[in-house]
A and B are shown apart, each in its own frame.
Chain A
């Protein structure tokens, strides 16, 4: 995955001059603007931009909009691979059934209107979450909609050098994730140090080649030092994180869930902003001509009251405490059972967003201490 199809190669105006090596490169901060400009010629470019006091991923047309100094974003970049609302098929209400799937239309008219995209500046935790989705959403069948987008998205990662508030990525061991990125950036004084991780990444470099220079030995050394020094500067807020599934073996009936349930609104915000959550609901929509329509999948949340409701009115998780418990068990017990990876990358977004101030670090610490 991540490799661009042959066809794209031709679309790209690539100078097929001698291939550069895969050794690390340097991109001057001042060259970010021309770099982005060049990318926008052939790709839709997304990256972190400011939204009042916070940041969101959004489309970038000017390098100056890009805020690579961001701490975190309100929604994670998952929205580009699993959009909050996605058309699955279009249909007309005729009795003979006319359906068209955007996955089957011509190459040009596909989900992306033929355009590939690049996301610039994804932090390690979010990279880990993308890899997580690669795994969890292909357990039985691949999710064809996500796969379609995933194959069309280029990822430029960005190493974090200072911890953001509420996060615990050192404990989740996602702090140093780079897998999934095609290029990985590290801020180094007035430049970005660039690791080329995939062939796709190399294509991007080739295309924007004139902007990059080779990194010196000293620069490589500095970056290595910077990255390893994070072992000291990032706190291990949830020691023995990997033991959580085991600890959850007990405590299912614990009173912790009622306690949390008293505070929780069941609003689902924590799961919507979570980079590893992926659940969806499906609805048919008919347009006002009362003939054309589409089947749309929307982000859903196990925290919402209808999530486990079946026809006839039986609800398998009827109360807020039962749903809070499910979220935690899904991430820290069910997902590890299924794919041997815990469904939390430590980004802290759930804590940052919870209107009831439910704090993931506190919650997990309680579990670790057997306080359920």
Chain B
């Protein structure tokens, strides 16, 4: 059942197709630095730029729309599913381009996030999306950020053609297990999702090798001081056999031959949290595997917002599990920047995050034998494991102590959150106060502090600014950029 309206105004179409796109959370403009050029409109900044914040506090960085909200598939959790009665409409490529260009000129947006329902069939849909992007890039010379969602079961050639025009591509895994997917998204299979994902990965690797780069995506620079991060242990098998390496005789000097970049900002994906019965451990190990096997740039989590009445789904009055989503983002951060692995944080015996403590505190309390650490001597990797010390403050400690001994007073100024860290560190052999390093005591102290903020995440009306990181926001000449801003609240 669907109603296709022929005479909608552009405003009506925009509202419908933005409304239908808003549950996709991966709206960052990050991952690639690209300068502007004369005759073109736009550039791109690797840290990502937010342009506004919507009433739910989420960053608005890209014009996030669907090409079409028509859909022949019937994913149970989705507003656009074929069995829902809704007004259906489709943008023409010209309309998409106009909106992007004019919004961009006024500094409303950093670029476009284009997704779509399956209009007629996957090929027809992706063809339409390709025409939109092609028009933007080649006719309007748009040089800003473009993120395109690949449609499962779309032909390989179309995905490749789009990959040469887009900055980022993503295909949503939706649910971490094949069973969950089968139950809730009967027209999709895990294979139909993983195949395009590895296709994009292979093309990215080929391009990177062709321009003389390492085949893996860049990761945080400070990871080089860590050993055993999820990215190293992914190991050698990450160079895929089916990637074709450029033959020696095809070597040309870069000035003469520079292949077009392919999805330079990398791939991402998204999983829905709380629609099916997976535990956090399953979600986090899946996340880790996605980083390792597909070299994804980001994995996003989306707290399930009930939109449809369905016996397979949580009831309509279920609140979105925002705290759980937040914990997953915190853990994701620990994997990507702090050298933790999924198995360090959770296990089959303890498959879910502690609702009272953030994952790093929780980990530290289970490893009290490693503490306290001496601030003036501990290496970067060890400092990072201390609750209350983030990547920025760890780097600052390492630099500042070269020029003199650090005191608690100095640590505070450097941005260390002493109210957490004080249980785990010494300065010149002394703890800040005479504190017992004893699990129950510290747990009580820390949960007292965390409880309020945890409660507030699940009850957003009472929101307090809280940080995903340990650093107090100090002395970064650059303020928070879109990527971080969103992760801060676990609301990407």
Indicate whether A and B interact.
no
Residues of A within 8 A of B (CB): none
